[in-house]
Structure 1
């Protein structure tokens, strides 16, 4: 398969070959992928497939730069998301709701994503995709008319990949780097509720256990170090690729804060000028929440509004933050210090899963007990590079 280019346009010669002779795990239905597109699509497909198998429900992911920006199962689409994407009162299909919830976890980062779903694309999802800035989709099938509908997106450049649900990858996987071929066993440990061993706190409710299992599937395909926060079958914040684990925890936590503050009445009622694009509204909501606008950004923000608005005060932010509860937190590697727990609890965390095995594991358990967090150990590290 000839690719459009490698990781960068200057890497003009790029191609893909199947490791199993004459057996491709995916086929191109429309468009021409780059190497990065293929990396995103292949990782995203494995994620949604494993999440759906583990939880018995459809799963969707918004994938960007070899890590998920958001992942979700079907569920209620809250008013904020519905208003933003103009869903209205019409009930959308499970698959469309899963992708919408996945994308809304971090809609700024999802701009130009690769979408992935565990089940065949239906008309509702195809219609939704035509209205957002998305570069492509991978799915195990497409209902009649959906490929034709999507193939007109991005002036005909939208990427459509079909995954082979029956494909079984080889037991070993390899990659080449600087003249060296590295080979390892494929990580085939099933993700399931059986991994969750209660270590501290109250027994896990079924919904919390499902959130933790979803988090494990997410982190298996997120660049390490990584951590994520989840609630009600969707990610609220994912921290990826940080050298320090507590930096992952804090980065993902900041994304949780942004997601939650986007639901604050002040943010919801920002008086944007008529005709402002959805993505521009999202970006300005996020910058308003983050604060610290540059002089140029402040002028542009003012021009995007019909009237001035006051910043959220620290007290308003703190009071709103206390309303977020029932959040699950998952780490791909063991927590080496209790500061991860101390930071996580600031974002409404009530349930936590990590591999365990640190020399300070007792301190982690004590910190969970102190904050009233239920701790489950998995014994399974999920590094991904």
Structure 2
């Protein structure tokens, strides 16, 4: 097949649900002598702007029917899109059947994703599945040797610039790029439909699973400078780093985005309760605390591990205030994310030009369902989001000594944090603040010892005679397979333990806890995080 680099634009078919920029585009095309063909509401919007428009029904010889379900599914439309201009057989067929070429297709699809997001019922969602639009997009994109396809309003400007530069024609390279965008759009659209149907039918493991996304920004690099990277949004609008408004600071890096997501998901566990602060380093919390004020919460979180907090990511569950902002700027911090900030706080941050401040309208719901996907060699792992939560009523006291009310409150706090710490995870908590975090070790004993050593280091730095873990509680994200991990926590000063239970040696671990005078509860729920 021979493809001409420059393709003239004489006729355009426009059919859009989102009318953003439509009239300006129509006027610019008409000014170049392009014939406008359109449907329904799109044609009306163009005519209301004083433009001459030819109805698709005039082109096809058939009226729109079946409530608009059938209007562009016709050889006169698809023949005009698919015909190869340089193929004598195709041109002969067009002449024989009175088919006119369509050089530009401008289509955006029925708002299916938006309809689902509004919580519409099943029938309404079904009616918002576009059929003719994807069919035309795929046809025009296949024939990008001759036809230009535009599916995003944000590409109207690029199209007009292309026409201006090439005397009303488009280049092959431009048509290729637009075809790529178009196929990705229909793929993402079908992904949204199939994902919605799987959920509606409660199909946990559909035979085929796809993922779609929209480029939010290209990143300088990935985890390391030699890795390319980009950030895509999935259209779910889950509050967090993807929906945040960046007020100031340098562009976010790959690692910034990853760590900020970890931070805001953790702090969301505490909802709109007492002011809470989470400080994250390399996707693990190095300090989490509540307080009577946001400043107190930040200070207590910082005091868990001041060394690791340097260059960290901070998430808050309350709007940032001036006092907290002043304290945060006392050390180097990469990102702060919060549900709002007052003017005084933003003025303080403005003095730190590189400090990134992200504001969100709401915290993500930790109990909301969702799908998590991870790529492995040759495939994907898919699982439900870990939205498991426990309450006081879910806990089972398994030791002779029952925990006090204060210990119980701290254990529930520690359990919320454990869910967001890489396995094997050990978290020491006292009075609503982490005082030691052990993460990502191959041995649970090592995690317990590392967390205790960090506590000792912080106590020494603060001029205290006893470790911060003295009299604390401890949470383990999974069961203690042996009593050694539990005894390491007891040696660190823990007086109460919260863990899932379920080990074949539970009785041995319970006996060790009783011998050490510990209170222990089982949750019956594990929180591995790899």
- TM more than 0.5: yes
Match 1:259 to one of 458, 474, 484? 458
Match 1:334 to one of 479, 500, 507? 479
Q: Look up the match of 1:43.
A: 262
Match 1:27 to one of 245, 264, 282? 245
Q: Look up the match of 1:301.
A: none
C-alpha distance in 2 between matches for 1:203 and 1:102: 28
Q: Look up the match of 1:71.
A: 288
1:176-227 alpha-carbon deviations (Å, 9 max, x no partner): 2445222111122224333322111333222211211111111111111111
Q: Look up the match of 2:234.
A: 18
Q: Look up the match of 1:205.
A: 404
SS in 2 for 1:349: coil
C-alpha distance in 1 between matches for 2:453 and 2:374: 34
C-alpha distance in 2 between matches for 1:98 and 1:22: 25
1:70-118 alpha-carbon deviations (Å, 9 max, x no partner): 111116xxxxxxxxxxxxxxxxxx1011111101111111110001111
Q: Look up the match of 1:83.
A: none
Q: Look up the match of 2:371.
A: 172
8 Å CA contact retained: 1:260, 1:324: no
Q: Look up the match of 1:377.
A: 522
**Is it true that 1:157 corresponds to 2:354 in the alignment?**
yes
SS in 2 for 1:207: helix
Cα distance change, pair 17–199 in 1 and its aligned pair in 2 (3 A) = same
1:122-178 alpha-carbon deviations (Å, 9 max, x no partner): 11111111111211111111112323421331xx22111123416556521212244
Give the Å deviation of 1:42.
1.1
What runs of 5+ residues in structure 2 fail to find an aligned partner? 1-215
C-alpha distance in 2 between matches for 1:147 and 1:378: 42
C-alpha distance in 1 between matches for 2:467 and 2:340: 42
C-alpha distance in 2 between matches for 1:22 and 1:232: 31
Cα distance change, pair 196–257 in 1 and its aligned pair in 2 (3 A) = farther
C-alpha distance in 2 between matches for 1:186 and 1:221: 12
C-alpha distance in 2 between matches for 1:34 and 1:145: 27
1:2-28 alpha-carbon deviations (Å, 9 max, x no partner): 234321222243223234279844332
C-alpha distance in 2 between matches for 1:324 and 1:67: 19
TM-score (norm 1): 0.75
Q: Look up the match of 2:513.
A: 368
Bigger CA radius of gyration: 2
Q: Look up the match of 1:114.
A: 313
Cα distance change, pair 26–178 in 1 and its aligned pair in 2 (3 A) = farther
**Is it true that 1:135 corresponds to 2:280 in the alignment?**
no
RMSD after superposition: 2.2
8 Å CA contact retained: 1:50, 1:191: no
8 Å CA contact retained: 2:452, 2:469: no
Give the Å deviation of 1:39.
1.3
Cα distance change, pair 372–29 in 1 and its aligned pair in 2 (3 A) = same
1:296-325 alpha-carbon deviations (Å, 9 max, x no partner): xxxxxxxxxxxxxxxxxxxxxxxx448964
TM-score (norm 2): 0.55
Specify which structure has the bigger relative contact order, considering alpha-carbon pairs within 8 angstroms and separated by 6 or more residues: 1
C-alpha distance in 1 between matches for 2:462 and 2:344: 35
- Total equivalences in the alignment: 309
Give the Å deviation of 1:228.
1.0
Cα distance change, pair 175–161 in 1 and its aligned pair in 2 (3 A) = farther
